[in-house]
Amino acid sequence: MRLVVAALAMMMMLSARGFRVPTSPTKRLSSLSSSPSPNFTPTPDLISYLTSSPTPQYITAPMVAQSDLAFRTLTRNHGATLTYTQMLHARNFVSSKSFRDDNYDFNPKLEGLKYNNPPLIAQIAGDDVKFMTEAAQILADSGVDGIDINLGCPQAIARKGNYGAYLLPQTELTTEIVRSIKKKLPTTPLTAKIRIQDNIYDTLTIAGKLQEAGVEMLTVHGRTLKENKTLTRQANWDAISQVVRHLDIPVIANGGIEDSRDVHAILETTAAVGCMSSEALLENPSLYDFQNVLPADCSSRVVLDRQVKLCKEYIELAKLYPPVGNGRFGGHSAVKAHVFKMLYIAFSSPKFQDLRNNLGHKKTHKIEQTEEIVNDLESRLNMATDEDIDFPSTFSWYRRHRQPLVVKPTINKNAAKEEINVRLKALKERRTERMNSLTGA
Ligand SMILES: Cc1cc2nc3c(=O)[nH]c(=O)nc-3n(C[C@H](O)[C@H](O)[C@H](O)COP(=O)(O)O)c2cc1C
């Protein structure tokens, strides 16, 4: 009964916001299992906080090696209302203190509803019921607002570890994990993030089972497991909207957001309670700053000015809250990866190739060095003519997999020669290293 009242209230709220309110599900859909378990009481905190808001939720996706505290804070400063930690592998998280120290960076001074801060959800992954439950317990005790189960990761490592999108169709196991966490942590909001299946019937069946087991909010990425990396396609918003209509719990729509206009479009099309973005937000962390959206036809200089400003703001935050961990993904590598994406347009030009190379160099491992590169780029952009930095408006980090890049680097024989030389030198170095290791030199 409570859920019916909540669903009606939500429909009225969505309608008041001008969203297209979902019509009743078709007969075929209503035959699928979707009612929550009778023993399951929705928790009043995070979920009601999110669903009672007069505006939709604008969400920063969970992102391995890119959901650091500084980046979460940056997106919050520019309109994000809910953020996630990166995916935390449950077994590693439970068994290793150094893994926790290197990957988990919740900060109650800046986040967590119980500390009067914006909410944070911690995401876990794995196929072991015991480890998943223990990881959820440790995270809940540390003060995050909710636990999310990753049932959408399409990477090879997820196939090997039987988690993410590979675990999703194994509904007996996923629902066992959900029930076990719910039993242990009845008052901690539990959410899940899924990908759509090849057909809508399977998507709705799986979503319904997760809801029935106790999941209180579901994020739906409107792409299938195969639609990944270079096979990334336009996300299927219609499938997301069918899940919204089918379930009683709030649904977050994810996938295919390129700019601020798409944020409104996905919410209007799907009637989801929130929109989650990843790649577009990595490039433009002010995606949700609707007061300051740039006109579609503005010059590259205006776009680059905004990008440099955001990048500098991120660097200041990263000085205050350096990303945890080290190695290829954590620590300063995370900072460099953010800077690269925010300044992708400029770094793709042969004119700034040297700065791109410097940023990528392994000797660039301190925030001051990265800051210097950004400052250099800023002064060179200031000195450049408008023609020098006139990139097609379709050129961006977001588009790199989505269509052939429209930009053709200006043919510059010297730059091309230089690039070939750099590549040859790197190949030669790698070969010498290999030979040395073989001969024990
Ligand atoms: C760098 C990167 C890391 C990601 N890591 C995670 C993760 O840890 N957990 C997860 O559920 N999804 C992860 N994703 C997927 C995103 O959360 C999101 O579902 C996907 O990128 C589609 O959204 P988009 O079209 O807005 O990019 C990652 C995506 C990117 C680009």
Segment 21-45, tens digit of pLDDT:
333 333 334 344 444 444 444 445 8
Pocket test for ligand 1, best of 225, 278, 283, 396 (most atoms within 8 A of CB): 278
Ligand 1 centroid – CA 251 distance (Å): 17
The residue behind tokens 């996300």 is 235
Q: Report pTM.
A: 0.83
Ligand 1 centroid – CA 63 distance (Å): 5
The pLDDT of residue 8:
42
Torsion angle (degrees, nearest 10) of CA 90, 76, 108, 55: -90
The residue behind tokens 């959410």 is 191
Ligand 1 centroid – CA 35 distance (Å): 29
Name the residue among 242, 189, 177 with its Cα closest to residue 50: 189
Evaluate whether 357 touches 368 at the Cβ level (below 8 Å): no
Could you tell me the pLDDT band of residue 434, with boundaries at 50, 70 and 90?
Answer: low
Give residue 325's identity as a one-letter amino acid code.
G
Catalytic residues: 153
Indicate the helix (H) or strand (E) that contains 86: strand 82-89
Instruction: Report residues whose beta carbon is within 6 angstroms of any ligand 1 atom.
Output: 61-64, 66, 86-87, 123, 150, 152-153, 193, 221, 254-257, 277-280
The residue behind tokens 């990528």 is 360
CA–CA gap between residue 425 and residue 26 (Å, rounded): 63
Pocket test for ligand 1, best of 58, 59, 60, 63 (most atoms within 8 A of CB): 63
The pLDDT of residue 431:
53
Look at ligand 1, atom 19, and give the residue with the nearest C-alpha.
221
Lowest-confidence region among 168-177, 215-224, 241-250, 427-436: 427-436
Evaluate whether 72 touches 121 at the Cβ level (below 8 Å): no
Look at ligand 1, atom 7, and give the residue with the nearest C-alpha.
63
Could you tell me the pLDDT band of residue 107, with boundaries at 50, 70 and 90?
Answer: very high
Q: Residue 254 CA: which ligand 1 atom is closest?
A: 23
Give residue 221's identity as a one-letter amino acid code.
H
Tokens of 416: 């091309």
